[in-house]
Structure 1
Amino acid sequence: MGVEVLSHRRMTWVNIEKPTPEDMAYLRERYPFHPLDLEDCLSRIERPKIDEYDDYLFIIMQFPVFDITRRVSRPGEVDIFVGAGFLVSVHDGNLWPITKFFDDCQDDEAVRDRHMGGGSGPLLHDIVDRLVDYCFPILYKVDANIREIEEDIFTEDLRGVVQEISWVRRDVIALQRIVKPQIGIVANLEHRDRPFIREELELYFSDVLDHLYKAWDMLEDHRDVVEGLSDTANVLTSFRINEVIKILTIISVIMLPLTLVSGIYGMNISLPFMDHPLAFLFIILLMIAMAGSMILYFKKRRWI
């Protein structure tokens, strides 16, 4: 089993990584948790929510975990049971802040006393606060990627820039989908009074909520910038395509009369200067004059 139990005074923290049915059986024997809540802990992805019972809260929250291979943030779920004198955290181990926090409390008595000495409410706040703060390095990385795109957008590698814009846009959308539901969860913890969450924690949860709003505002800004970069890339792509089409059109227009002259003098009929010894040179000079005059006309009209 991946069950770790840490006790301090009258407070117990049970941390479960990569939950199994055996772990849920362990919780079922020791705590009055609803069977559906234990079933949710084993589900791969659940919708973020907060369920309130008489003697405990069941909270499902999600935080971003960046997938390097797919280059997108995916939701990492943490399920929390919190009641008077206990807190149970269930997660898949990918959210390293909660794992590190548990290890710190386990290894250092001063840290354990500071975070677990106040009961389950302050401990819940400290866990959520660390997980919310953990989002910001990911958001800063997105911001760095956007700045890199801004520097490269006017280079010749427009195809690579468009691909990078697509990656970042997908990541921003995924982050928005993860962050937005957490705002309602923390707002609920801030405004609702519960016996095991003291009233003075309202200010602390309000601070966490402010951080979530800040993260959401950053994502909104990132989305707007990415959309602007995408529009710029589309304009540049259209401009370059138009430039290529213009050059090809000019070449076709110049070749058209030359093809006409060569076609006429390629016919099996009597034509002017056909028997003249300098006929070939005359035709070549005529073609050059026609092409040159058309190029001069295009330049005068500023088409090239």
Structure 2
Amino acid sequence: MSKRNKLNRRRNKILERKAGNKPGSLVIPPEAFAPRFFLMSFNEEMFEELELANYQELLQKVKERPDARHWIDIRGYADQTVLEMAMQDFGLHALQMEDVINDYQRPKVEEFGGNRLFIITRMLRWSPEFRTLDDVQLSLFTGPNYVLTLQSDYGDCLNPLRERIRAGKGVIRQRPAMYIAYAILDVVLDYYFPVMADIGIYIEELEQQVLREPNKSTLSQILDLKSELVKLRRITWPARDLMNELLRMDETTIPENLKVYFRDAYDHAVQLIDLVDSHRDMASSLVELYMSTVSNRMNEIMKVLTIISSIFIPLSFIVGLYGMNFAHEDPETGQVFPHSMPELYQPHSYPILLGLMAILILLQLYFFYKKGWFRSF
């Protein structure tokens, strides 16, 4: 089974699971991973990074350092008990956790519990092997001194941010928890640009393939690419709306000195939308280029067939004319028919006729050459 079919089956399972369920019910996907617990605690003077064995140890470490900022990272949804304890300890709503588990949500932001935020974004990766777009949901909750992230997979695109925190580069250890939320969103958006670059390279490869040797497989690849770009557009436009909503929030939620960073992220989202629209136009033009190239090749084939037919039509007429074999004289009475075919009885009629036919072919080829019919071959 192809990767695309597996992805479609997974989406259908999620839709079936949601139908008829009570709002806020936590139904664990059968393909969910066992949860792993990661914690980064830091401030201007200290830094600590841990992978903990269970949720209780994670919560205890967070409570031990109320003066630090914490990035709590839970990867995997297979344990419903962990999710229910996280809802209780961090004051999360059941509907929010339902959106976290049913991880095909569009990027969005919700304000809850005063100045806290619930953000959903999507991490992207381009698969060069399958020529498909892989997207994984990242759910994010902000608190007074922590950021809680939840994701279904163990791998993500946030390692550059982790390296910056470990190295203490920049001002990230001095900023409040909301800045960590911005940094996470910024890294996610930054990874969209390499995806766009890879798609652009793939479009150029398809263009060369269309010009060189178009076939049904090429057309299928172009249509699959258009489908991936539609999915990409469904992600980038809500990502821009997410940033716009963050910029319009009250200063008590997002201080003015942090909004300048979110404005920069908003500009990145706008650039991504422009790139997506540009790639979609290029993919649509590839379909037109494919149809035009196939039509031109068909015209070339018809041109060759037309030349061949034009050459052999007069030859077929001559051969058909002399193939009627009307008798020159009556075999019984010996009467000569003056309007029959006397050429049939000429001693050199056969080579003479072949020569005339050859001359006729050469004259036709010369005529076609003067008309320029051979220049495009």
Among candidates 11, 35, 40, match of residue 94 of structure 2: 35
Say whether residues 1:224 and 2:224 are aligned partners: no
**Is the Cα contact below 8 Å between 2:69 and 2:176 reproduced in 1?**
yes
- What code does the residue aligned with 2:75 have? E
Q: Which deviates further from its counterpart, 281-290 or 175-184? A: 281-290
Among candidates 148, 153, 161, match of residue 93 of structure 1: 153
2:113 equivalent in structure 1: 54
Which structure is higher in helix share?
A: 1
1:50 is paired with a residue whose SS is strand
Following superposition, the deviation at residue 228 of structure 1 comes to: 4.2
Among candidates 335, 345, 351, match of residue 281 of structure 1: 351
Equivalent-residue separation in structure 2 for 1:168 and 1:29 (angstroms): 43
Equivalent-residue separation in structure 2 for 1:30 and 1:182 (angstroms): 29
1:296 equivalent in structure 2: 366
Q: 1:240 to 1:184 in 2, by over 3 A?
A: same
Identity, in percent, stands at: 24
Equivalent-residue separation in structure 1 for 2:167 and 2:129 (angstroms): 39
How does 1:95-134 map onto structure 2 within 5 Å?
96-99=156-159, 101-102=161-162, 105=165, 108=166, 110=168, 114-134=171-191
2:142 equivalent in structure 1: 82
1:19 equivalent in structure 2: 77
1:211 equivalent in structure 2: 268
**Is the Cα contact below 8 Å between 2:229 and 2:279 reproduced in 1?**
yes
Task: Give the RMSD, CA atoms, in angstroms.
Answer: 2.9
Q: Which deviates further from its counterpart, 160-169 or 284-293? A: 160-169
Equivalent-residue separation in structure 2 for 1:153 and 1:68 (angstroms): 17
Equivalent-residue separation in structure 1 for 2:306 and 2:196 (angstroms): 47
Equivalent-residue separation in structure 2 for 1:221 and 1:287 (angstroms): 58
Q: 1:37 to 1:115 in 2, by over 3 A?
A: same
**Is the Cα contact below 8 Å between 1:15 and 1:102 reproduced in 2?**
no
Q: Which deviates further from its counterpart, 239-248 or 13-22? A: 13-22
Q: Which deviates further from its counterpart, 91-100 or 208-217? A: 91-100
* Greater relative contact order (Cα < 8 A, sep 6+): 1
Q: 1:244 to 1:147 in 2, by over 3 A?
A: same
**Is the Cα contact below 8 Å between 1:165 and 1:226 reproduced in 2?**
yes
**For structure 1, which runs of at least 5 residues remain unmatched after alignment?**
none
1:253 equivalent in structure 2: 310
Equivalent-residue separation in structure 2 for 1:22 and 1:181 (angstroms): 31
TM norm structure 1 = 0.84
**Is the Cα contact below 8 Å between 1:66 and 1:72 reproduced in 2?**
yes
Following superposition, the deviation at residue 116 of structure 1 comes to: 4.8
**Is the Cα contact below 8 Å between 2:123 and 2:137 reproduced in 1?**
yes
Could you give the per-residue CA deviations for residues 63-104 of structure 1, whole angstroms, max 9, x where no partner exists?
322133430223221111112222111123376332553476
Of the two, which has the highest radius of gyration? 2
TM norm structure 2 = 0.70
Equivalent-residue separation in structure 2 for 1:185 and 1:236 (angstroms): 42
Could you give the per-residue CA deviations for residues 112-146 of structure 1, whole angstroms, max 9, x where no partner exists?
x9435432211111111111111112222233344
Equivalent-residue separation in structure 1 for 2:167 and 2:301 (angstroms): 70
**Is the Cα contact below 8 Å between 1:2 and 1:19 reproduced in 2?**
no
